[in-house]
Chain A
Amino acid sequence: MDNVFADRFRREGFLPQLGEYGGEFAKRVFQRKDMLFALAALVLFAGVALFAPLLSPYDPNAIDLKNKNLGPSEGHLLGTDYLGRDLLSRILIGARISLSIAFGVVLISLLVGIAAGCAAGYYGGLVDECISRVIDIFLSFPGVIFALTIMGVLGSGIFNLMLALSVVQWARYARLMRGQVLSLKKQEFVLSAVTSGAGDFHIIRRHIVPNAIAPLLVLATIDLGHVILSIATLSFLGIGLPADVPEWGAMLSAGKEFMRTAPHQTIFPGLAITFVVVIFSILGDGIRDILDPHHEGGEMY
């Protein structure tokens, strides 16, 4: 494929050029039909999330026991759940909660991962050795235990859930970042910056991070979907958000009891999750094809 564009990014760094080449990046996105489609869907979801309180026809937490487990009808477009709450309203408000948790987790993991990865890759030696071992530990540790401990100690809540998931996720970013930094460190422009006496922090900020970030952004995009899946899994195990928070994963796992009698309670939240994850996967793949055609991120994605 045509790699000139990607090579230029690689050579000159991604972030500094973003303004300059943003147009070209956008053009490439628009050339790919699948990405365009995914982007449109994402905008739609984001819009729904932003305006959810305006769009939702009912209060998502209004319980009406007499009208429980109703199938889709004119009054309730997607039906009602096991406590008679309007499913459409819950899914709309849920978009906001699920997406913000996903973004929160990815952002925290990205920041921590970049910091740790830079420190390990740039300073090398003992620092690298220590950080790498910690990364190894976190990568091989069963995430459930972390989630359970954190939720147990801090109590259930949106922020605590974000924290619990971030603790599990950051190590992958750190490992990827470390590899990037290691290869960049040998490159000429970094070496010359070092000889010219620039400070470590300056070099990392100006030269390393901007050049190393592309594969991390790809990972982050795909991870947005994975985080939503993880929340669902945690809800299934009974750890996660309070039951009245309309989060998709929690709705799906609460609805599984009614799979036979009122299947719409699992189908709609399940589809919402599936679609969002699909969107992020397509976007992630697309961004990778544009920025990182040689798959430098390896199979981390």
Chain B
Amino acid sequence: MRYFLKRFGFMALTVFAVCALTFFLMNAIPGGTAELILKHTFVGLEESATEEQLNQISSRYNLDDPLYIQFFRWVKAAVTGEGIGTSYVFRKPVLYLLALRLPATIQLAGASMAIAVLAGVSLGIYSALRENRISDHILRVATLFGVSMPCFWVALLLILVFSLKLKLVPVAGYGSLENLFLPAAALSLHSMAAVMRVTRTSMLETLGQEYIRFAKAKGLPLRKIISRHALKNAMLPVVTVIGFQMGNLLGGTIVIEKIFAWPGIGSLLVDSISARDLPVVQGCVLAIVSMFLLVNFLVDMLYTHLDPRIRYG
């Protein structure tokens, strides 16, 4: 119990620090927040703004207050449950925007993770069982090239092949399973390769172990050995790699969402950064970091569950 308290304490601390960091970094980016907000909401990017208009914006959003006061105000509102600010561009509460956008990102990341785990684990096992045979080599080389291609390039190639050549799925959009297929596939590629590699290595290691040989000698069918004994032990490193990959996936959504016009928080984050829509940036970062920490927490829990040798003190 003490462990959980401590862990959650640290998570809260990290989230707070990240928010503070975002806030001050965003204010350090050149451009003048008031001016860019004005241009994004009223004037048009390429037009000029007058002093009077700038002052109006500054006072509307209290941008002239010292930064620490602005930040304190934000924290206070967040802690007291008042919300985490209102978007300058959308003129809606940030929480409302996040509630709209978050499901799309979770859906995308979840689907990618599902593909990565399902395909990665099965290919990994297959590859381990066929160690050093042709199919193993082909698989390994294929994944090696898969991870080595820039994500957005893969996405564009997938569109070319599956949408324009084969006419199987739509190019962009959101809502149906068809729409989800390409972005999830493009996003999952790196993680899938990572999961596959880890599964293969740890499968090989497990299969080489004494008790598996013993089970084999006893004449248990291979299928049973794998599902009953080998898989469980081989899963340990796989679970860890999932935790790590979650971070990559969340980062990758930014690019993938842009290409596929996917209405998630990744694209929201990038747009808000260029519009200096600070409350939204804060909100997105808060959401992304919390998700990342939460997934890692769950992974750790799963890990303890799988490996009783680890005990938290």
Residues on A facing B (Cβ under 8 Å)? 133, 136-137, 139-146, 148-149, 152-153, 225, 229, 232-233, 236-237, 249, 252-253, 256, 259-260, 266, 270, 273-275, 277-278, 281-282, 295, 298-300
Contact B21 A141 (CB under 8 A): yes
Subset of 29 A-B contacts with CB under 8 Å = A136-B10, A137-B14, A137-B17, A140-B18, A141-B285, A142-B269, A142-B289, A144-B269, A145-B22, A145-B26, A145-B273, A146-B25, A148-B273, A149-B25, A232-B152, A233-B150, A233-B255, A236-B150, A236-B152, A236-B255, A237-B270, A256-B152, A259-B156, A275-B148, A278-B144, A295-B201, A298-B237, A299-B241, A299-B244
B292 within 8 A of A: yes
Is there a chain A Cβ closer than 8 Å to B147's Cβ?
Answer: yes
CB-based contact A152/B270 at 8 Å: no
- Do A277 and B255 contact each other (CB < 8 Å), given the known contacts A148-B273, A153-B29? no
Q: Which residues of chain B have a CB within 8 Å of any CB of chain A?
A: 10, 13-14, 17-18, 21-22, 25-26, 28-31, 144-145, 147-153, 156, 160, 198, 201, 237, 240-241, 244, 247, 250-251, 254-255, 258, 269-270, 273, 281, 285, 288-289, 292-293
Within the assembled complex, what's the spacing in Å between the Cα atoms of A60 and B152?
A: 25
Contacts of B26 in A (CB 8 A): 145, 149
Distance in angstroms between the alpha carbons of A105 and B262 in the assembled complex = 32
* Bound: A195/B290 CA distance, A: 44
Given known A-B contacts A145-B285, A270-B149, A299-B241, A140 and B292 have beta carbons under 8 A apart: yes
Residues of chain A lying within 8 A (CB to CB) of residue B153: 232, 252, 256, 266, 270
Given the complex of chains A and B, what is the CA–CA distance between A149 and B25 in angstroms? 6
Shortest CB–CB separation between residue B161 and chain A, in angstroms?
A: 12
- Bound form: Cα–Cα A236–B156 in Å: 12
Across-interface contacts of B288 in A (CB, < 8 A): 142
Which B residues are CB-close (under 8 A) to A146? 25
Residues B29 and A237 in contact, CB atoms below 8 Å apart = no
- Cβ-defined contact, A273 with B149, below 8 A: yes
Q: Which one of A273, A278, A295, A300 contacts B150 once the chains associate, using CB atoms below 8 Å?
A: A273
On chain A, the residues within 8 Å of B17 by CB distance are 133, 137
How many A-B pairs fall under 8 Å by CB? 116
Measured between beta carbons, the chain B residues less than 8 angstroms from A278 are 144-145, 148
Contacting pair B148 A153 (CB below 8 A): no
> Which residues of A sit under 8 angstroms from B31, Cβ to Cβ?
152
Q: Whole-angstrom distance between the alpha carbons of A260 and B254 in the complex?
A: 24
A3 to B251 alpha-carbon distance, docked (Å): 37
Please measure, in the bound complex, the distance between the C-alpha atom of A256 and the C-alpha atom of B91, giving whole angstroms: 34
- Kindly list chain A residues whose C-beta atoms are within 8 Å of the C-beta of B250: 142
Bound Cα distance from A148 to B25, whole angstroms? 9
B14 surroundings in chain A (CB, below 8 A)? 133, 136-137, 140
Contact of A274 among B145, B247, B254 (CB under 8 A): B145
Contacts of A281 in B (CB 8 A): 144, 147-148
Contact across chains for B147 and A249 when beta carbons are under 8 A apart: no
Nearest 4 A/B pairs, CB to CB: A277-B148, A232-B150, A152-B29, A149-B25
A residues less than 8 Å from B198 (CB atoms): 299
- Asked if A140 meets B293 with Cβ closer than 8 Å, knowing A152-B29, A152-B31, A236-B255, the reply is yes
Instruction: Tell me whether A144 and B251 are in contact in the complex, defined as CB-CB below 8 angstroms, given that A153-B30, A249-B150, A278-B144 are known contacts.
Output: yes
Asked whether B270 lies within 8 Å of A144 as measured between CB atoms, the reply is yes
